[in-house]
């Protein structure tokens, strides 16, 4: 699977651990930064990953910041991105199965490395259920189109 990953400074160490895990699992990983703990602005990194997902250059995106909230908000501004905040394995499973989330945001200050790895593995292993959920996901795209017209 092709995966774009990024973090701000607060998520850098966890991003590095997750990036390494993905590489070891054989994924094609595109690291969009940051590359240190020097202070950065999370929207820049969320946009890079979100655009790669929306443009179909990668299959999924992974974002890490202190809470995961800022990254998910910023990524969701990009048309075609369905970014979800990870706070439990079951929540991650459901957001893939029911919402076809294509980007996961993880809070480095609210997740242990082990939890983050569990969220990541679940995010990658869970397929979209389709069916009635596909109708609902299509309505999200309709909202995006309506807002573009406003």
- DSSP states of 69-83: HHHHHHHTTSTT--E
Residue 82: CA count within 13 A, CB half-sphere? 20
Cβ atoms of 37 and 9 closer than 8 Å? yes
From 9, 27, 35, 65, active-site residue = 65
27 in catalytic set: no
Cβ atoms of 66 and 55 closer than 8 Å? no
From 27, 35, 98, 133, active-site residue = 98
H helix runs in the chain, sequence order: 12-24, 42-54, 69-75, 89-99, 113-125, 132-149
Active-site residues, by number, are 65, 98
């Amino acid at each position: 699977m092709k995966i774009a990953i990024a973090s701000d400074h607060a998520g850098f160490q966890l991003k590095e651990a997750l990036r390494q895990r993905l590489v070891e699992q054989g994924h094609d990983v595109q690291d969009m930064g940051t590359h240190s703990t020097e202070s950065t602005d999370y929207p820049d990194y969320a946009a890079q990953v979100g655009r790669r997902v929306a443009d179909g250059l990668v299959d999924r995106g992974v974002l890490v910041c202190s809470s995961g909230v800022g990254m998910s908000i910023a990524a969701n501004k990009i048309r075609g991105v369905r970014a979800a905040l990870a706070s439990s394995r079951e929540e991650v499973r459901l957001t893939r199965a029911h919402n076809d989330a294509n980007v996961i945001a993880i809070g480095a200050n609210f997740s242990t490395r082990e939890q983050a790895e569990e969220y990541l593995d679940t995010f990658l292993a869970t397929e979209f259920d389709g069916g009635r959920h596909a109708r609902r996901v299509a309505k999200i795209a309709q909202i995006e189109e309506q807002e573009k017209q406003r």
